[in-house]
Structure 1
Amino acid sequence: MNNNILEVNDLKVHFPIKGQLIPKTVGYVKAVDGVGFDIEYGETLGLVGESGCGKSTTGRAILRLLKVNSGRIFFEGKDVLKLKKNELKETRKNMQLIFQDPYASLNPRMTIGDAIEEVLLVHNFGTRLQRNKRTEELIQLVGLSKTYLTRHPHEFSGGQRQRIVIARALAVEPKLLICDEPVSALDVSIQSQIINLLENLQKELDIAYLFIAHDLSVVKHISKRIAVMYLGKIVEVSDSDELFRNALHPYTQALLSAIPVIDPDSKKKRIILEGDMQDIMEPPKGCRFNNRCMYAMDRCYNEEPETIDFGGGHTVDCHLYK
């Protein structure tokens, strides 16, 4: 029996580049270029990778906030890319987004209560009295006082604003939250509070998360499985504990080596990647990681690696294991 709330197959999102003198398409930024994964009901999938690899674009494409060039997105068995306007609005009640910058995602002229109630109005939720009651329940659900509802965003700290954004995302009782780097703009001490809040909400409300981040240590804490993304493609997927114990892709190994270690006597060796990500307009032939990989072979520059299944949900795209 299929227990997946979300299935993404061969997703591609390419942005056209226009010429400076003549408004003609001269190329494409291949931000997402053949991504596929699934998420079960109530599960958290972490999506990690360095800035510019296409993580946030993937999240927005799932919600159809961006134009998708090709691929399939199934939410509870429905093909999201084929939904009409009214059907999409109804489906989006069950898929909500938490943005990276909580201040930028809140209207500075609206009170917190109005910002949360706006979601309820858009989805035709109850009477004004019912909406007020629901708004009070939501703000208390994320650990804030209902007396805050009359205040404006600038009166709150970053952590409080992120709690408000989470409350707003939960307003219409979604089944899936796409968390786009929800703690990267916060202090480390506040990050742990928000992560714990999300974990408690997941247990209480049985929500699934797509948790997008660049910090593997944060992702490990909240995710059941982790997908590692590089230059528009997913290169490794594994159970969280297995990935930290037995990372296979050289890029994943480099990411793990960059996590700070508290023990001063630790002999953990840092893997320093030379060079930068290749131009996303002109992805390299073969493996996209070939110019930075210490194990690169001739075939890495000519053949695109296939996905190899090591069992237990652990897959890797790398010629080293073929």
Structure 2
Amino acid sequence: MHRTAKYLYIIGGCALAAEREPIKNIERICIENVEKSRENSSPLVKIHAEHVGNLSIPRRSPACFLLKNQQEILISGGCTGPNNHTNTMELLRISPEFSSKILEETLEIGASCSGFDWASKGPFYPIFGGFEAHSCLDDAQVLDQSQNWNAKKLGKKLMPKIKNSTVLALENREFLMFGGWEDEQKTTKAIRKIKFNEDYTDYEVEFAGFLPYPVEGHSMVRIGSNVLLIGGFDGCFVQDSIIKYDLDTKKSEILPEKLSEKRENHVSAVLSDRFLVIAGGWNSRSSLDDVEVFEIQKDSELARCQVNGKLLMARNRPAGVPI
């Protein structure tokens, strides 16, 4: 399975630290042109950014899901200001015309910084943990598209309290959770496998390994049988490193290529089949509006590209959905 797209939709976020100045704006970026550089062998990639619409309310770090029709994105939760978390959901229609509609249904718990996979197949869309007002969550909530987006908090609690993880949907109702901030005490390097029953009313969690270092606030892309975990925060410092995790061998390694800017709370995607694009985030001092691009080579090895272009605005902790 190779997840690739033409556009990366970048949704909400905030302009400052500590959830301040949340953003309603949605923009999308794409690779407009690729040229051979005159200075060296790395290609020059031109990034095009455009404003496509607005959320109904500002949201920092909502959970987002691309629906099967590839024309709608379900947006749930997020924070609308410092310690102010919303339980609302809205449906974005991307084409033929952009529109946004707040749904009558709401989450049982309004949270931000939850673990989710935008590419979950549905009709069940799970959301793991997150942060609500003043505490982390150990809950799993499931959105049921077949029941008009009914949201149900499952009674079982087998996860630690966790936020800022990344989650990958696998086959057979299985999910992998990478890293996160655990039990309000530490950044974790744990990998957990979560498996649901057929109607997503129950689940089991088992330990599935360790990453090379603890990390939270990272981004994730899947390239074939490899998962790249990009940047993040290790509990002390913002990171510029990239971890490659092999789904077949269950082994991980730190790639030699590094980000040019240390960043957490950013988004990433594979665009135009062969480019890893990383955008926005936080560098421990300010929100970022820059874009980094790597050309994907054999066995998910990366080669840095020169980049012309940036986001329309700096964004800390937006959500990203490739289409």
- TM-score normalized by structure 1? 0.28
Q: Which has the higher strand share?
A: 2
- Greater Cα radius of gyration, structure 1 or 2: 1
- TM-score normalized by structure 2? 0.28
